[in-house]
Amino acid sequence: KNEVEQSPQNLTAQEGEFITINCSYSVGISALHWLQQHPGGGIVSLFMLSSGKKKHGRLIATINIQEKHSSLHITASHPRDSAVYICAVYPSGSQGNLIFGKGTKLSVKP
């Protein structure tokens, strides 16, 4: 079983829809990251959070440390939001580094 599980794996939405991507993890963490990867490979860090909720424009990320769960929401989705969204966690008390989910491929249709 992967330490970081994302759902859904693939998601197709119509422009304007509200989108939710979920991430569950099984290890204790220092922080959780949401990343966006466009075709071509470039990765952009969207959020880094260790508690509560963060908002940036149309993007909202929440985390529940007790339940080991995080969600990424996109309000009023747009075709330019089409990308792969990756959840990654930084384990606490370890000498490791980021552990990644498999990603959620989002396609927003006009």
Whether 61 and 70 have beta carbons less than 8 Å apart is answered as yes
Give yes or no for residue 99 binding other proteins (CB under 8 A).
yes
Helix (H) or strand (E) holding 102: none
Angstrom distance (rounded) from CA 27 to CA 72: 19
Give yes or no for residue 97 binding other proteins (CB under 8 A).
yes
Q: Return the amino acid letter for 45.
A: S
Token pair 């569950």 is at which residue?
24
Give yes or no for residue 90 binding other proteins (CB under 8 A).
yes
Q: How far is the CB of 60 from other proteins (least distance, A)?
A: 18
Annotate each residue in 6-45 with x if it binds other proteins (CB under 8 A) or - if it does not, as one string: -----------------------xxx-x-x----xxxxxx
The 8-class DSSP code of residue 87 comes to: E
Task: Give the footprint of other proteins on this chain (CB under 8 A).
Answer: 29-31, 33, 35, 40-45, 48, 50, 86, 88, 90-92, 95-103
